Structure 1
Amino acid sequence: MSPNVKFEVVNFGEAERRLAAAPAEGERPITLIAFVGAKLALGGETSTILRDAEPQIARAAAAAKFAGKRGTSLDLYAPAGLDGVGRLLMIGVGPAGDGDNGGASPERFDDYLGLGGQLAARLGQGANAIALFDVPEPPADASAAAGQLALGATLRAYKFDLYRTKKKKDDPEREGASEIALAVAEPEAARAAVDGALGLAEGVVIARDLVNEPANVLYPEEFARRAAKLADLGVEVEILDVPTLQTLGFRALLGVGQGSAHPSRVVVLRWNGAAPDTQPVAFVGKGVCFDTGGISIKPAASMEDMKGDMAGAAAVTGLMHALAVRKAKANVIGVLGLVENMPSGEAQRPGDIVTSLSGQTIEIINTDAEGRLVLADALWYVKDKFKPAFIIDLATLTGAILVALGQEHAGLFSNNDELAGRILEAGKATGEKLWRLPMGPAYDKLIESKFADMKNTGGRHAGSITAAQFLERFVDKTPWAHLDIAGTGMGSPASDTNQSWASGWGVRLLDRLVKDCYESA
């Protein structure tokens, strides 16, 4: 979907010139945004620009009991002393309360990300704004902070209203994109940071759009067509159809989709940003475009949410977009396993035994434990064909992870401590948090089968762990991590940077992982 906020980076001199100029006839009035610290402290540039309005600001702040605390704001309309400004929006960046040692901090990634979200929420849509990025206690890297501000604002402004035909014409939040001129001290560096942040935001928005789409619109073939648009950015795209998958031996994946009228697909995305002999890294996404549970059908309540059971594949698609936009200096493989799990006369049954691409046999105990079957073939294919430095899979895999972690953390499972540690650090840096859970032989025994090499569920106990144990059997000794995002990829709690049902979770996390640890100089 089109962005609801657009950024331009200017210097403070240009901001002053625009504020001094008389608005053209028919032009939207300017909204001036200023960031305010404790006790109404202002940055030097901001203080100069607002000097003629300071008496009114002081009176309004006293009346509204606005003291510049983080998370608060003050609105003044047609402020005296600021000709041409229709609205002055002051956003607090000072300490939020007792025990809070300061305002926005350069050490905390999410401070400026969240600040951008708060800005977008208070600004609304359709505004013509100038934002004075001049906080009272400047961050160590003001340009990077400006990029995070732009990222947070763009993500917060996102709306998925494609199918709403009765939109209120008088709703100010639906008057088109807000245009923000971000005034900074060093425009060139800030412009590069903002451009990079907006490319990342595009990747998150792509993931959100995919997860929000209804399943009658986004089925495997359509998902594959949308992913194929990444070719416009230089990503190599290969789409494997059912005959090809049958020839290759993707029997576990195809078993999941055999009950659906929509044929399955596997999409292979390749970004070649490093030297040809550089070992690639790989990301695999579960893409169950709708999950009824198959013959082991789910309860009707909330089944509509199963349109989001492809959030892992959506995140991989968004990640590949973000990497390509910023021309990441890494070789990256993205694989999407796209199926629809439906009950029909041709559907897979409990008790069936399938032979996976790896040659290992799987007894189907529950057809609703389908995502691990999709991933099993996809993981083996990636491991065997591309021999990556690591594989990370993302999947809305188990309800058990919601019981364990709620929606605050995704579950992390790994056979490699170094990889797991790097993912956890990227999670801390981006605010997309994870919690590592244990694995081991005792859990692995729970998926042993009397009739095949393994069964596709280990029962109620340790459900997320036994699912991870299942996946580990398809990576051999390749460093691997499994991210169970059932609690974070859809049905997202509202936050400063997201008001959407779909979060796009994982795009920022994995982009940061690649950037910090796997790109060549």
Structure 2
Amino acid sequence: MTHPVEIDFTETATDRLAAHEGRVALIVSQNGRLPAGLPRGTRDAALRALESRAGKALKPGDTLELAFPAGMAAEALQLVVLPGGASVAEARKAGAAIGARLGKTHTLVLAGGHKRAGEVALGIALRGYDFSVYKTDSENGDDGAARDAGSDTPPQTVSRQGAAQDARLSDAQTPGPAGNGNGDAPVPDKARVTFMARDPQALARSAQDAAAVAEGVFFTRDLVNEPANVLTTTDFADRLKAMEEIGLTVEVLDEDALRDLGMRALLAVGQGSASPSKVVVMRWQGGDKDAAPLALCGKGVVFDSGGISIKPAAGMEEMTMDMGGAGVVAGVMRTLALRRAKANVVGVVGLVENMPDGAAQRPGDIVKSMKGDTIEVINTDAEGRLVLADVLWYAQTRFEPRAIIDLATLTGAVIIALGHENAGVFANDDRLADNILSAARAEGEGAWRLPLAPAYDKLIKSRLADMKNTGGRPAGSITAAQFLQRFIRKDQAWAHIDIAGVALPPSATELAPKGATGWGVMTLDRLVRDRFEEE
């Protein structure tokens, strides 16, 4: 898998600046105060830049770049404005501005004693993500053989190096065997980052949990970015099974087991595909052994053609991201295991592919769920709710969770409602909803609560079955949530998060290049810390 950029932490030594040949990022306060020890030519150029009209317009987290600064061997000096009282979001923004320009060189960051330096490091790691395993040109350093994304050897979080006793966060891993069996992929030149800080050991220790979060986000992004001819249901399940190496307990249920359980709604979605449907159960038992877990459920449609109700050709290539909910659940479970969270959490994901062939389900079919309710299939492109119906019921009946949260790229309607800025949150429990929204705000991930109400149920009333799988265009994201609520037990705290608009937005975001964002890993990790983790 893709791992975060290698970040070292060392004591401040400004005498090393002049000879550094890569990039230098200098964190400065809004009053333009510069650290002592800068080469004179560099100091003069930096002060002039900060006093310019452009420099005075900089806001917290903004940067100004000087190419080939006087008195230094560096190719660029990046002035990063970050007041001492900066917020977490501003610090991550500053880090992202550095991370977006890493290239394949060594970046030196002068952080001094800034209290938000750890958040700057996380911003660098998140924005420095680069999914380029399929690029074959020499500039990308790849011979076309995909790296083994199933490798789950955890990175070192802190190590000491010789007399300097530098601290290291999130060592990059050497690529494993090529995914197509053609041998080892070469190791490309990689970006490196060194933080110069007043107390590097303390900074590295404080950044360990952030390193686990970055690993989880990257795992999710990799899964969502993978093409469907690589990330089949079997490959997806194998990657999750490999996380047993980091302490998760992982169980893969095949189609025979799913039939025995009565998951006919889920199986109906995948019956037109050559890829077998699966359910994967991931368990992290970090809390009291008798405590009920938090359950996270994810929609994992590795490719959604729409089935017999086939989608338009334009944009269909992006339907490789329809497993985004399962990807988020996997990334959260990875993070919890890497940081050894003191909580019990179970992740359950339904992995299917929705394809049209002679065996595919048809509009008008009636299927029976694991719960026993019957569903009239009006549109085979409203398939994710069929998958989640069985997964939600299974998670409740097997694990009796304290709360259950499902995530899915479920509806285009949520994009019409909220655009690409916010995920839609639905819940039957106000406290759980408030906790999710609070966690999302703390992590800078947009989320907005949308309503549930019995009045919407009439839109999914079926003439022939207990319900139909779509209520049409009006309130499309709400009727989908109403459908899922029918598979939630009475008095079970539940929330549904529709991430269709935020999983793969059309352009880069502040903390991610264009492509998969990994939205939700940070929010749900924060939720576990704040509400479900033991003291």
- Provide TM-score, normalisation by structure 2: 0.87
Counterpart of 2:510 (choices 479, 483, 496) is 496
Q: Distance in 2 between matches of 1:118 and 1:460?
A: 40
Residue-by-residue CA offset, 1:118-171 (whole Å, 9 max, x unaligned): 01223x222223211138xx5xxx1xx222211111111111111111243799
Counterpart of 2:197 (choices 181, 184, 188) is 184
Q: Distance in 2 between matches of 1:152 and 1:308?
A: 24
Is 1:57 the counterpart of 2:42 in the alignment?
A: no
Is 1:114 the counterpart of 2:93 in the alignment?
A: yes
> 1:181 is paired with a residue of what secondary structure?
strand
Counterpart of 2:111 (choices 110, 133, 141) is 133
Counterpart contact for 2:460–2:468, Cα < 8 Å: yes
For 2:528, the equivalent position in structure 1 comes to 514
For 1:323, the equivalent position in structure 2 comes to 336
Q: Distance in 2 between matches of 1:51 and 1:5?
A: 31
Structure 1: give runs of 5+ residues left out of the alignment.
95-102
Counterpart of 2:132 (choices 141, 153, 161) is 161
Counterpart contact for 1:69–1:92, Cα < 8 Å: no
CA shift at 1:113, angstroms? Answer: 1.1
Residue-by-residue CA offset, 1:379-436 (whole Å, 9 max, x unaligned): 0000000000101000000010011000010000000000000000001001111111
The residue correspondences of 1:448-487 to structure 2 (distance < 5 A) are: 448-476=461-489, 477-487=491-501
> 1:130 is paired with a residue of what secondary structure?
strand
Q: Distance in 1 between matches of 2:121 and 2:237?
A: 30
The residue correspondences of 1:65-464 to structure 2 (distance < 5 A) are: 65-67=54-56, 69-70=58-59, 71-77=62-68, 79-80=70-71, 85-87=73-75, 89-93=77-81, 103=83, 105-106=85-86, 108-122=87-101, 124-134=102-112, 138=114, 142=115, 145-168=116-139, 176-464=189-477
**Judging changes above 3 Å, is the alpha-carbon distance between structure 1 residues 449 and 65 closer, same or farther for their aligned structure 2 residues?**
closer
Counterpart contact for 2:471–2:479, Cα < 8 Å: yes
Counterpart contact for 1:5–1:125, Cα < 8 Å: no
Counterpart contact for 2:422–2:501, Cα < 8 Å: yes
CA RMSD in angstroms, aligned pairs only: 2.2
CA shift at 1:4, angstroms? Answer: 6.1
Q: Distance in 2 between matches of 1:248 and 1:170?
A: 47
Q: Distance in 1 between matches of 2:478 and 2:42?
A: 60
Counterpart contact for 2:2–2:222, Cα < 8 Å: no
Residue-by-residue CA offset, 1:155-201 (whole Å, 9 max, x unaligned): 11111111111243799xx9732222212223233112222212211
Counterpart contact for 2:122–2:214, Cα < 8 Å: yes
The residue correspondences of 1:24-35 to structure 2 (distance < 5 A) are: 29-35=21-27
Q: Distance in 2 between matches of 1:199 and 1:297?
A: 39
Q: Distance in 1 between matches of 2:447 and 2:280?
A: 27
Counterpart contact for 2:420–2:501, Cα < 8 Å: yes
Q: Distance in 1 between matches of 2:243 and 2:100?
A: 31
Letter of the aligned partner of 1:69 in structure 2?
A: L
> 1:8 is paired with a residue of what secondary structure?
strand
For 2:180, the equivalent position in structure 1 comes to none
Counterpart contact for 2:69–2:77, Cα < 8 Å: no
**Judging changes above 3 Å, is the alpha-carbon distance between structure 1 residues 118 and 222 closer, same or farther for their aligned structure 2 residues?**
same
Q: Distance in 1 between matches of 2:434 and 2:97?
A: 31
For 2:176, the equivalent position in structure 1 comes to none
Letter of the aligned partner of 1:239 in structure 2?
A: V
CA shift at 1:363, angstroms? Answer: 0.9
Q: Distance in 2 between matches of 1:189 and 1:90?
A: 25
For 2:8, the equivalent position in structure 1 comes to 8
Counterpart contact for 2:2–2:219, Cα < 8 Å: no
- Provide TM-score, normalisation by structure 1: 0.89
Residue-by-residue CA offset, 1:295-320 (whole Å, 9 max, x unaligned): 11111111111111000000111110
The number of aligned residues is: 488
Counterpart contact for 2:298–2:406, Cα < 8 Å: yes
**Judging changes above 3 Å, is the alpha-carbon distance between structure 1 residues 481 and 170 closer, same or farther for their aligned structure 2 residues?**
closer
> 2:477 is paired with a residue of what secondary structure?
helix
> 2:23 is paired with a residue of what secondary structure?
strand
CA shift at 1:358, angstroms? Answer: 0.4
Counterpart contact for 2:303–2:354, Cα < 8 Å: yes
CA shift at 1:60, angstroms? Answer: 5.4
Q: Distance in 2 between matches of 1:185 and 1:483?
A: 41
Q: Distance in 2 between matches of 1:311 and 1:326?
A: 23
Counterpart contact for 1:68–1:92, Cα < 8 Å: no
Letter of the aligned partner of 1:153 in structure 2?
A: I
CA shift at 1:51, angstroms? Answer: 5.9
CA shift at 1:265, angstroms? Answer: 0.6
Counterpart contact for 2:435–2:527, Cα < 8 Å: yes
Q: Distance in 1 between matches of 2:117 and 2:375?
A: 51
Q: Distance in 1 between matches of 2:91 and 2:357?
A: 50
Letter of the aligned partner of 1:196 in structure 2?
A: D
For 1:98, the equivalent position in structure 2 comes to none
CA shift at 1:74, angstroms? Answer: 2.6
Counterpart contact for 1:4–1:125, Cα < 8 Å: no
Q: Which moved more, 1:70-79 or 1:239-248?
A: 70-79
Structure 2: give runs of 5+ residues left out of the alignment.
143-186
Counterpart contact for 1:250–1:377, Cα < 8 Å: yes
Q: Distance in 2 between matches of 1:170 and 1:233?
A: 29
Higher helix share: 1
Q: Which moved more, 1:238-247 or 1:186-195?
A: 186-195
Residue-by-residue CA offset, 1:415-464 (whole Å, 9 max, x unaligned): 00000000000010011111111111101222121111111111211110
CA shift at 1:16, angstroms? Answer: 3.7
CA shift at 1:52, angstroms? Answer: 6.9
**Judging changes above 3 Å, is the alpha-carbon distance between structure 1 residues 60 and 489 closer, same or farther for their aligned structure 2 residues?**
closer
